[in-house]
Amino acid sequence: MNALTASSPAVYRVVMPTIFERVVSREIPAEIVYEDDEFIAIKDINPAAPVHVLVIPKVASERLDTITDEAHMGRLFMTATKVARSLTPDYRLVVNVGPGGGQTVFHTHVHVLGGWGEDGPDGHV
C-alpha cells in the first residue's frame, strides 16, 4: 500500500505530515495567536464562531485519546484556557475525536470558540 491508496489516516501519516505540522514548520501560513515550545494556536481558516482558534501540540498525535502523557494533556488544556481567556471572557472548548466525532484533521487539536456575547451560541450541547 502506498500513500495514494492508504485507506486510514494512520497509514497516510507515515509519509505525509499533517496540515498542522506544515503550519508549525511555516510551510503553510497561518494567523498565529500564541506559541510556545510545545503548542501553537492559530485562527481557524473557516471560523464557526466570532472567535475560533485551534490550539495544537507541535508534536502530532493522531487524536486526543492516543495521548498517553497526562502532563502533556494537562498542559494542552491549560494552554487552551489561557489562549481562550486572552481572546474572550467566555468560551467553549471542543475536541472532535475520530471521524464519527467530526474530526477532519488527524493531528490532535482543541477548538476555542467564543465571541458570541452574553447570550452565548445558538445551539447548546
By CB under 6 A, the count of residues binding ligand 5GP is: 14
Specify whether the CB–CB gap between 95 and 104 falls below 8 A: no
Stretch that binds ligand 5GP, among 36-44, 55-63, 75-83, 84-92 (CB under 6 A): 36-44
DSSP state of 20: H
Cβ nearer to ligand 5GP, comparing 1 with 16 = 16
Helix (H) or strand (E) holding 75: helix 70-87
**Distance between CA atoms of residues 23 and 78, nearest Å:** 21
Cβ nearer to ligand 5GP, comparing 45 with 78 = 45
Map the footprint of ligand 5GP across residues 64-123, applying CB under 6 A. Answer: 96, 102-105
**Which of 114, 18, 118, 123 lies closest to 60 in space, CA to CA?**
18
Which spans of this chain sit near ligand 5GP (rule: CB under 6 A)? 19, 28, 30, 42-46, 54, 96, 102-105
